[in-house]
Each structure stands twice: as structure tokens, then as C-alpha cells.
Structure 1
């Protein structure tokens, strides 16, 4: 999986889980070894920041390149 595919998966996950997600700013990805439902894997991690004045907290979303699963880090 390339970074563009992972970015699309992370953005889709954000759109499904955050209000006003289209206004959020994104940073990344970085590569990190994470432990999640499918075990220990090197994942691509994206940071997302809500618009100024939002009550939402920033999110870090990991994407497992093997399973194409997105999850909150």
C-alpha cells in the first residue's frame, strides 16, 4: 500500500468519526510500530487537528498496510 492509499483510508475514517471533518488539518504520515487488533505491525500514522474553536480533540489515526484497517492511536 502506498502513502496515498493509506491517506485515503485515514481520511475516510476521520470523516466517519468526527464532526466538521472536512475542515480538519492533516499531518503525516509517519511510520510507527503499533500493537492493535491484528498484532504488532509497522503502520502509517496520520495526525489530524480540528478547526480553531472546535471542542474536538486532535486525533492520530493509524493505518495497517496489510489489512487496510484504520484505528485511533
Structure 2
């Protein structure tokens, strides 16, 4: 944190051809994103239905009142 170089490690080795692996499972992440998207769409439809019901109820009350 202070900017000084780290001391050399005699046990450190460099592996030629080694590939760093990802720490994220892309399939699980995509499935999670799809599930979240579907939940969002369902909640939006629910809100739209509630709004439609509210407008219909207001119209019925204004006709009777």
C-alpha cells in the first residue's frame, strides 16, 4: 500500500502455457440473468393488471356516483 516493491520469493515459479481460469460459471450466470428477467416481466405484468383494475374500478364508481 505504500508503493515499496515486494521482496523476491525464491519459491515463485512461472508456468509456461498456463491459462488463468475464470472465477465465474458463465452458464449459471446466464441462467440467473434469465430467471431475473422473467421475474421482472412477471412483476411488470402484475403492475399493469393492477393499474387496469384500478382504472376500471374508478370508471365503475364514477358511473354509479
Per the normalisation by structure 2, the TM-score is 0.26
Greater CA radius of gyration, 1 or 2? 2
Report the structure, 1 or 2, having the larger strand content.
1
Q: Which has the higher contact order (CA 8 A, sep 6+)?
A: 1
